[in-house]
Amino acid sequence: MSAAGANQFHESAVAQVRGGAHYIDDLPEVRGTLHAAPILSNMAHGTLRGVDTAAALAMPGVVDVVLAADIPGDPMLAAFAGDEPVFAQDSVQFIGQVVGLVLAQTAMQARHAARKVQLHIDALPAVLTTAQAMAAQSFVLPPVNVRRGDATAALQAAQHSLHGTLEVGGQEHFYLEGQIAYVLPQEQNQWLIHSSTQHPGEVQHWVSHALGIDNHAVKVECRRMGGGFGGKETQAGHLAVWAAVAAAKNKCAVKLRLDRDDDFMVTGKRHPFSYRYSAGFDDTGRLTALKLHMAVNCGFSADLSGPVADRAIFHTDNAYYLQDVDITSYRCKTNTQSHTAFRGFGGPQGVILIETVMGDIARALKMDPLDVRLRNLYSDELVSPSTSSGRTGNSAVRAELVEAPRRDTTHYQMKVEDNILQPLLSKLELSANYRRRVEAISAWNVQSAVLKRGIAITPVKFGISFTATLFNQAGALVHVYTDGSVQVNHGGTEMGQGLHTKVAQIVADELGIPFGRVLCTASDTSKVPNASATAASAGTDLNGRAAQFAARHVRDNLAAFVCGLDGCGAGAIRFEGGQVHSPVTSRSFDDVVKMAYANRIQLWSDGFYRTPKIHYDKATLTGRPFYYFAYGAACTEVVIDTLTGESKVLKVDVLHDVGRSINPAIDIGQIEGGFVQGMGWLTTEQLVWNDKGYLSTHAPSTYKIPTAGDVPEHFKVDLWPEPNREDNVFGSKAVGEPPFMLAISVYEALRDAVAQARADGAVVHLVAPATAEHVLNALAAK
């Protein structure tokens, strides 16, 4: 029986249930370990005049205070923009910025003492919103513009037009395991870093940069994380650097684990976005022009804001052809936490905008929103003439010599070759009984004075690959031991998503052995160097393929050995069911391994994979940045209370495309989890900064993630039954991020409920997240 394609348990599931799966804070501490706590800025912007540590140093158990002057290497983090200090130096840029560390014998001693440090700061004006940043022209990176055709002329010629604004909030990652690093000095100025990170290679680079040593002197290890969601892609590097600087100064092991409140105050979030848009459309609901301004709240430094904002531009189309389009993205610098990667990486912020426009068009024309969405899907239909038609000057005269353009190419010039959304949406429409439910909900709302229901189907088309082409590579090692057991190490990291499980399934299939004979070990920079972050939903695509290639090399060695024994061609050797079959005889895999070892046959190998076909011009934001697209759609029904603004999700039906699933149980779990996390982003998870720049929602008491009670009883997930059309490992597709955007159906269903409650035919302006207050505001709007 094939290991891949089956519902295998997560490789750590039993250990996690029994308490035997170790996270960093579970590791035994070496003698002399000191515990660190951060000293945080209490002002959003100001000049740092001095740091008074006397009271802290007098506290019980306190050993040292570490500040910027103690950094042996570069005082700036090795981030690509080079705009973020390790510790605040001459100025502070947000409330929660780390000025230094207090070291003590226990974590609680360090935390209490850190609050005794006095910071002398002269206040400076703070920029706290995108509107203020735009007015001040405060940017972390230059604005970016992408256009096709002539959106201005197309808007003027449009049969109908609408204009609007949208505010979409950020989101706290709220991983169960908080940020943590444990740094242990080794001999000869070498270092072992236990880091809860999605990117061990970057942690290695950042630590060596801050310590002023070579990368090879730093080993970073991560067996597993208790959740990541993008929040441990760059942010984990900060903790490792801070702890390493402290360990280097004090010549001892240092552990730094943020408590939940400090984690909120220090680390970046999903980027909040502000939009201003104008859309032109015809009588049939087809979008003919779009002009869009995106203001991205990046926080005080660039971090990953550039590629996040770029991906938002890429995914502004979602499932729809944009004929004449003009998008400008402003990367605003504010005096808040530096916002960072989060599941979807800007994609959700692009998708929600265009889905809002589709809903607006439907209400303006009194059409069903699903019909408007279907009308605008990518297809092989010829592009209808517009004011620009994509040509200017003499090119229009020579049009007959050029193949007529079709509605199958994105605004960044990538052809959509694997589009399945038309049949997928049609299938979900039928299986969810959408049309019948629309009628039933309308009738129910007439009879219900206070409670009003809404329903929506929204699709998702999500590009899979790092937009930075160089990151689309991976390596792996496969070791076959003389008892026939197999160990795999690859450059990806396990954060609960099942990456190690899927990689083990792939390797087991390649060698024809049971899943239980394969063990994936901790991610380790001393085994697979220069590994990319486990991000962009590409963990299995990259590392699974690299591990498959490594296993294939070993299998080929064994096949060549057996064919030499049996006098047959290597192609006649089959590996399956723990047996090695030749035309002459069958042997157990274990026996073949023992024999091969005795004959000095190599039983280990490396594997390397680079994603094919992709290319991308960062200057113009054009090319083929993605290897393929993952598709899906969700039908969601909600109810709102028009007196209180409270809402509840009643039913969810999902049809999602994961290609040929390596592990259906894990994939469905990712779809369910992604949807619920997206639902939280758009309903209850509200980040609130006050007028001083203080994050008021910095704990579970004020920041509300969804609970089990928020998950509807009717939550049906089906998988689209078609392999990936590109040559991806096992015919699978990525599943980590795309389902997150299915939850935009919740937002659109809420807007439908508000529209039905108001019954005025007007555009519904609903701020996201759609808290009770925001729903009430939308109901009251005129």
> What residues are annotated to the active site?
737
Tell me whether residue 52 is exposed, middle or buried, using C-beta atoms within 10 angstroms of its C-beta: 0 to 12, 13 to 18, 19 or more.
exposed
Q: Which amino acid is at 544?
A: G
Rounded to an integer, what distance in angstroms lies between the CA atom of residue 292 and that of residue 349? 13
Q: Look at strands 62-66 and 34-40 and give their pairing.
A: unpaired
Rounded to an integer, what distance in angstroms lies between the CA atom of residue 504 and that of residue 4? 9
- What's the angle, vertex CA 355, arms to CA 684 and CA 413, rounded to 5? 130
Name every residue whose Cβ is closer than 8 Å to that of residue 394 and which is 6 or more positions away in sequence. Answer: none
User: What torsion, rounded to 10 degrees, do the Cα atoms 256, 261, 265, 266 define?
Assistant: 10
- Asked whether 738 and 537 are in contact (CB, 8 A), the reply is yes
- Three-state DSSP at 372 gives helix
Rounded to an integer, what distance in angstroms lies between the CA atom of residue 777 and that of residue 765? 9
What are the distances in angstroms from CA 568 to CA 329, 571, 574?
62, 8, 12
Q: Which amino acid is at 567?
A: G
User: What torsion, rounded to 10 degrees, do the Cα atoms 44, 49, 50, 51 define?
Assistant: 0
- What's the angle, vertex CA 435, arms to CA 430 and CA 440, rounded to 5? 130
> What token pair was written down for 657?
């495309």
**Residue 769 preceded by cis peptide, ω within 30:** yes
What are the distances in angstroms from CA 186 to CA 212, 345, 357, 412?
16, 36, 57, 49
Q: What is the largest CA-CA distance in the chain?
A: 84
> What token pair was written down for 641?
């209370």
Q: Which amino acid is at 56?
A: A
> What token pair was written down for 148?
């096709």
DSSP state of 323: S
- Three-state DSSP at 172 gives coil
Nearest Cα neighbor of 476 from 556, 553, 544 is 544
Three-state SS annotation for 277-295: EEEEECCCCCEEEEEEEEE
* Residue 345 CA neighbour count, 13 Å, CB half: 29
- Asked whether 39 and 110 are in contact (CB, 8 A), the reply is no
Q: Which amino acid is at 535?
A: A
Rounded to an integer, what distance in angstroms lies between the CA atom of residue 683 and that of residue 681? 6
- Asked whether 314 and 706 are in contact (CB, 8 A), the reply is no
Rounded to an integer, what distance in angstroms lies between the CA atom of residue 311 and that of residue 461? 13
Tell me whether residue 26 is exposed, middle or buried, using C-beta atoms within 10 angstroms of its C-beta: 0 to 12, 13 to 18, 19 or more.
exposed
Centre a 10 Å sphere on the Cβ of residue 476 and count the other Cβ atoms it contains: 31
User: Which residues are bridge partners to 628 per DSSP?
Assistant: 464
* Residue 50 CA neighbour count, 13 Å, CB half: 3
Name every residue whose Cβ is closer than 8 Å to that of residue 548 and which is 6 or more positions away in sequence. Answer: 506, 507, 510, 607, 729
DSSP state of 512: T
> What token pair was written down for 219?
């080993």
Unique residue bearing structure tokens 């040559």 = 727
- CA terminus-to-terminus distance, the chain: 62
> What token pair was written down for 239?
């903790």
- Asked whether 242 and 99 are in contact (CB, 8 A), the reply is no
- Asked whether 48 and 92 are in contact (CB, 8 A), the reply is yes
